[in-house]
Chain A
Amino acid sequence: MIGENTHKRGLKQSVDWKLIGVYILLVLIGWVNIYASVHSDNPATIFDWSVRSGKQFVWMLTSFGLAGLILFVIPPRLWEGTSIPLYLFVCFLLVAVIFLSKDVKGSHSWFELGPVKFQPAEISKITTSLLLANVMSRQNFKLSQFKDFLLVAAIIGVPMLIIVAESETGSALVYAGFIFVLYREGFSGWWLALIGLVILLFITTLTISPYTSILILIGILTVCNAFMGPRKEFWKRIGIGAGFVTVMALLPWLWGLLQENVQGHLDWMTRVAWVPKAGESSGYRWSFLLKIKPMYVLLALSFLLLPILGVRAFRRKDGFLGLSIMAFIIGVALVFSTDFIFQNVLQDHQRSRIEVLLGMKEDLAGVGYNVNQSKIAIGSGGLTGKGFLQGTQTAFGFVPEQSTDFIFCTVGEEWGFLGCLVVVLLYVFLITRLILDAERCRESFTRIYGYCVASCIFMHLFINIGMTVGLMPVIGIPLPLLSYGGSSLWAFTILIFIFVALYRQEKKYF
């Protein structure tokens, strides 16, 4: 145990009190809103153990205790050293829970120990972050080395895959946030862009058309091509690309006109000149024209152009051109396989959630019900909200999971846009603070761990609020610190306070 007298700097300087302040504020906001979301006509007090706010109060107090324990009792050095066994132990729990748990809404992810339930997936964020920080902070670690990259991918991928196997795809999605950590540690920004592009193509293919997706692909390649080329050719390249995209974009329209004319001509021939013989249908000779689609033209054009460009790239040793060709082919393959992935790889409920999100299906009674009711609740709050305990939508139970995943609805309804603004800004402050503190650290373990914490909170924040306002599909993950639930609150408390402790230790000695 480290006594207070041995500090080189006092508590006041060494601990990020602003961070802790925001943490406490968010927890309190959550507690109040949990009370509001389940209050009934014969209101119990906010401390009543029989209602969720009362339980949350206990979770809150224990969390604060836990925070104190981590901050003052457990030596921060311990975390780095124990990160490997901790990680392995939690991975074991993740697997064990699949076999030992009851089926809760189709997923096997909860341990039940009498009255206490907890989800190992919550803790695995912590252990994964710790191990990631441990591995990446080693002296000879280089992300650009294939071996090291593979190690990192495994550390992130293993718990992620196990969680997917638990049918908790939502929680697994949070792990995608570690890409930001990798980016900060030198991972190429292109990867980030590439992932963004894949998602974009996936969405446009599903909602608009494969043709549009390919046009977007060509457009993006054009812009990249222009940037990579010599400066004086910039506008020339942009121009050629833009012209090409415009022509291709107009193609379906032109095609429509052409087909109309062909059809008109065929009709005219049938009426005036053509006498059908037995077995012949009208315009048999020209009707194949009507079957040609712009997509085929585009593909035919690519097949002609690609080898020519490929040969040119090879001769000139133009690496970027080669890469572009590869990217284009992969992009087209992706566009055409999207339908396959969507129909065959995704599970039914995931598909229907995406369909509703992308507006492909209006389904207010089924999957769309949650989102619609949540939007009604938030939307009805207006600018200033209905006031504390005055919300009708959440209190009457129109919104499902109102105190856990949809707690933000209560904030939106009772405190309005201003309340939402405050809550979102508090989170932004929290994450910013984490990033800036991490940047200030000299030990890369602390810095990387700090980024991991920030990424996790960011992913939860964006997915959860995005879900309640209909920007994201309905993915059942809690809003950090606000949502009801002991295991979630504890996990985020531990996650954050390990960083606070690590940070304090740095400040103390330097």
Chain B
Amino acid sequence: MTTDHRHTRLLIGLGVAAAILLAKLFSIQVLDDHYKADAEINSTVREMILPTRGVIYDRNGRILVGNKVAYDILVNPREVEEFDTLALATVLDVTPDFIRGKMDEYHRNRRKIGFQSVTMLKQVPAETYNRFAEVQYRFPGFRGQVRGIRDYPINAGGNLLGYVSEVNQAYIDKHPGEYRSGDYAGMTGIEAAREKDLRGEKGYHMYLRNSHNQIEQPYKDGAFDKEAVPGHDIVTTIDAELQQYGQELMQNKVGAIVAIEPETGEILALVSSPGIDVSQLADIGKYYEEISKNPYRPMYNRAVQASYPPGSVFKLVNGLVGLEEGVLRPEMMYPCSHGYHFGAGHKLGCHGHKSPLNMEESIMMSCNAYYCYVLKNILDNRKFDGDYGEAMDHWHDMVTSFGFGTKLGSDFPAELSGSIPTAKTYNRAYGKGRWNSTTVISLSIGQGEILATPMHLANFCAIVANRGHYYIPHIVKASEGVEIDPKYYEKQYTKVSLEHFPKVIKGMWRAVNSGAGMGGTAWIAHVDGLDICGKTGTAQNPRGADNSCFICFAPMDHPKIAIAAYVENGGFGATYAAPMASLMVEKYLKGEVKREDLEKRMKEANLMSRVKKD
């Protein structure tokens, strides 16, 4: 076999192979443009432009949350050259070790960081920033960045407003495509509930960088740039002064005050104490540890989350249910001999007052025995043929129609539902058929298995004030560019006929306005000319002194405000809750408080030592 021409053939093959490579190279380098475009996109830098976050106003146009400027110190580790660590530390008011630590950290994460800038120091004071700006040229790679942070001109509603903080990975994952590391988002309160309105839209400018990572020019003359869209302002239903006043009253006490405008369902004040001070909100990261370790749990929004036994306030509910069921008529008289006696020597105690008494008087004087009879009548109702289970469930349905035991559906996040027992609750505890109206008798006075949030109580008060209907309590008003759910404009009705409400209101009026010594439990809440109607509640607290509770609305005709106050370990309803609610009403309706002694006493009272820490 001849091999003479084989080397020629191999050389031709080599030529063909080289030609194939060169043809392919020619096609991707000279003929095809799209690789060049891809390369440009590879080497563009996006500079984010952050939008201004929306401002939060109160109902009267006062700014609750505004924006102010803060300075962050950023560093691009790849641009950093050798620098005087000590000098930089002095300028920035940090220790040299802090800077060394940070630089080591960036070096460790250099692959992750790449060509990005990272924030080394957050929210330095303006004077520090100015000092840094003067010497910045000596520290290549370091620069300051102006960023909008939240500003709180008035100390009203720390918990209510909520805080804004940097998103973490879990948050980014939960909102795919919406956030990137380093973005800020509202985490609690209104900031969280209205995050989508407040945040606005980020914009960006695109630049080309050269091989030395220097920015050369806007990419395609800015054709792909996007300007930032500022966030929408939010108008809340909160009355800033009332809110602030409520917080002052509640200082050094644990509990909540919720005030609602009955004709709209707008929340006027939502005080939870102890709360987060607005001065800590702006820089929550710094205080988070301290706040979360506080044994009184300031993060916990008692106004919508705490489940309290409502105590005697709940007598109104049972009374209304009794009236609706026809087992109670206002003129019915029941005796009370320091309590309600049942079974073999059992007694549900009561305080001293006249006996027997009718419904109006029972409300005015808050008689326990009266409501034991009412509840017994409801559960022993002949229409259920002695089936306590059915009667219990019916009672449950009536009660929950007031919003108790359910989430009201307010626009405030993290609302809890409290609880109202059903037949099942007792079947589980005692066995089916092994309990009766006496077993559950404490329900009559709002104790036992009934738990409600202060928001529930305020809403109930609004229902009474409206004589039978309510609007779902809400905290954001519709304003330009901000819509609210239409459900907040819909009247909600309970399962109790409207005609029954005036009957209990009379009793509530008398509880407040009968004058001292007449047996009215809430005479302390009386304010001349305001026609306040209220009901006290004193709820047993297994963790110490009784809780003090009070609901009231005013004026009696065309009420402007319905309010619930709940003070843990406050004693009688009339001791703390009633005066405080009354002061709130006075403040709101009159604009100023005349009862300065009472106000001073309330503000200065310190019940913290009574409260059991968690």
Residues on A lying within 8 angstroms of B by beta carbon are 40-42, 144, 180, 183-186, 188, 373, 375-383, 386, 389-393, 395-396, 398, 412, 416-417, 420-421, 424-425, 427-428, 431-432, 435-436, 438-439, 458, 462, 465-466, 469-471
| A40/B78 in contact, CB under 8 A | yes
| B22/A424 in contact, CB under 8 A | yes
Q: Which residues of A contact B344 (CB under 8 A)?
A: none
| B430 close to chain A: CB less than 8 A | no
| B211 close to chain A: CB less than 8 A | yes
| B78/A382 in contact, CB under 8 A | no
Q: Which residues of A contact B39 (CB under 8 A)?
A: 376-377, 379-380, 392-393
The CA of A42 and the CA of B21, in the complex, are separated in Å by 35
Q: Could you pull out 15 A-B pairs where Cβ atoms are within 8 angstroms?
A: A144-B1, A180-B10, A183-B6, A379-B34, A380-B36, A380-B38, A392-B211, A412-B29, A417-B26, A424-B18, A424-B21, A427-B18, A428-B15, A462-B21, A466-B21
The CA of A417 and the CA of B11, in the complex, are separated in Å by 23
| B36/A391 in contact, CB under 8 A | no
Q: Which of B104-125 contact A (CB under 8 A)?
A: 115
Top 8 A-B residue pairs of the complex, sorted by shortest distance between their CB atoms? A379-B35, A380-B39, A392-B43, A379-B28, A417-B29, A376-B38, A395-B211, A469-B24
Q: Which residues of B contact A425 (CB under 8 A)?
A: 18
Q: A380-B35, A398-B42, A469-B21 are in contact. Are A389 and B211 (CB under 8 A)?
A: yes
With most chain B CB atoms within 10 A of its CB, the pick from A40, A185, A392 is: A392
| B170 close to chain A: CB less than 8 A | no
Residues on B lying within 8 angstroms of A by beta carbon are 1, 3, 6-7, 10-11, 13-15, 17-18, 20-22, 24-26, 28-30, 32, 34-36, 38-40, 42-43, 78-79, 81, 115, 209-213
Minimum Cβ distance to chain A for residue B434 (Å) = 61
Q: Which residue of B lies closest to A385 (CB)?
A: B29
With most chain A CB atoms within 10 A of its CB, the pick from B1, B11, B28, B115 is: B28
| B24/A471 in contact, CB under 8 A | yes
Q: A40-B78, A389-B211, A466-B21 are in contact. Are A379 and B42 (CB under 8 A)?
A: no
Minimum Cβ distance to chain A for residue B206 (Å) = 15
Q: Which residue of A lies closest to B78 (CB)?
A: A41
Pick the residue among B6, B7, B21, B115 that contacts A465 (CB under 8 A).
B21
The CA of A40 and the CA of B34, in the complex, are separated in Å by 27
The CA of A393 and the CA of B81, in the complex, are separated in Å by 23
Minimum Cβ distance to chain A for residue B371 (Å) = 69
Q: Which residues of B contact A378 (CB under 8 A)?
A: 25, 28-29, 35
Minimum Cβ distance to chain B for residue A414 (Å) = 9
Q: Which residue of A lies closest to B20 (CB)?
A: A471
Minimum Cβ distance to chain A for residue B430 (Å) = 62
Q: Which residues of B contact A392 (CB under 8 A)?
A: 39, 42-43, 209-211
| A435/B22 in contact, CB under 8 A | no
The CA of A398 and the CA of B1, in the complex, are separated in Å by 52
Q: Which residues of B contact A398 (CB under 8 A)?
A: 42
Minimum Cβ distance to chain A for residue B442 (Å) = 64
The CA of A490 and the CA of B248, in the complex, are separated in Å by 83
Q: Which residues of B contact A471 (CB under 8 A)?
A: 20-21, 24
| B32/A420 in contact, CB under 8 A | no
Q: Which residues of A contact B18 (CB under 8 A)?
A: 424-425, 427-428
The CA of A420 and the CA of B38, in the complex, are separated in Å by 20
Known: A183-B10, A393-B39, A458-B14. 16 other contacts (CB 8 A): A40-B78, A41-B78, A42-B81, A186-B1, A376-B38, A379-B29, A381-B29, A391-B211, A392-B209, A395-B211, A398-B42, A417-B29, A417-B30, A424-B21, A428-B14, A432-B11
Q: Which residues of B contact A417 (CB under 8 A)?
A: 25-26, 29-30
Q: Which residues of B contact A470 (CB under 8 A)?
A: 24, 28
The CA of A186 and the CA of B1, in the complex, are separated in Å by 7
Minimum Cβ distance to chain B for residue A415 (Å) = 10
